[in-house]
Amino acid sequence: MDNKSIKAYKRAQARVKKIKGFYRHLTIYLVVNAIIVIEGLWGINFIEMNTANIDPTFVEWLIWNVLSVPILWGIGLFVHGIRVFSPQIPIIKQWEENQIRRYMEQEENQKNNTVV
């Protein structure tokens, strides 16, 4: 393989790794938040059934606490999805390529300095 195809392969490999990371994040989000919501709402229902004079605002507060985790985490998941699946912003892509080139040059210089 020539240098150009190696670079293309590495970019494709990095892209697949990012997509795989997003789907892992999505899976964990769905499993954990399903447990949180089901158990949380079941617990709130249990408290309401077994407590005679429970304050309705307290129950509302509990419900918002249970639902706030999936909502806030969902915002983070949405941002993660945008970063993975949206087209690359040219300025960011150029910056990334410049940084990669810079680090490769630094590594090459370090190898040349230690070999001499």
* pTM more than 0.85: no
Predicted confidence (pLDDT) per residue in 35-83, tens digit: 999 999 999 999 888 888 888 899 899 999 999 999 999 999 999 998 8
- Give the residue, 108 or 81, on which the prediction is more confident: 81
What pLDDT, on the 0 to 100 scale, is given for residue 88? 67
Q: What is the 3-state secondary structure (H, E, C) of the chain?
A: CCHHHHHHHHHHHHHHHHHHHHHHHHHHHHHHHHHHHHHHHHHHHHHHHHCCCCCHHHHHHHHHHHHHHHHHHHHHHHHHHHHHHCCCCHHHHHHHHHHHHHHHHHHHHHHHHHHC
What pLDDT, on the 0 to 100 scale, is given for residue 101? 84
- Give the residue, 88 or 7, on which the prediction is more confident: 7
Most confident of 26-30, 54-58, 106-110: 26-30
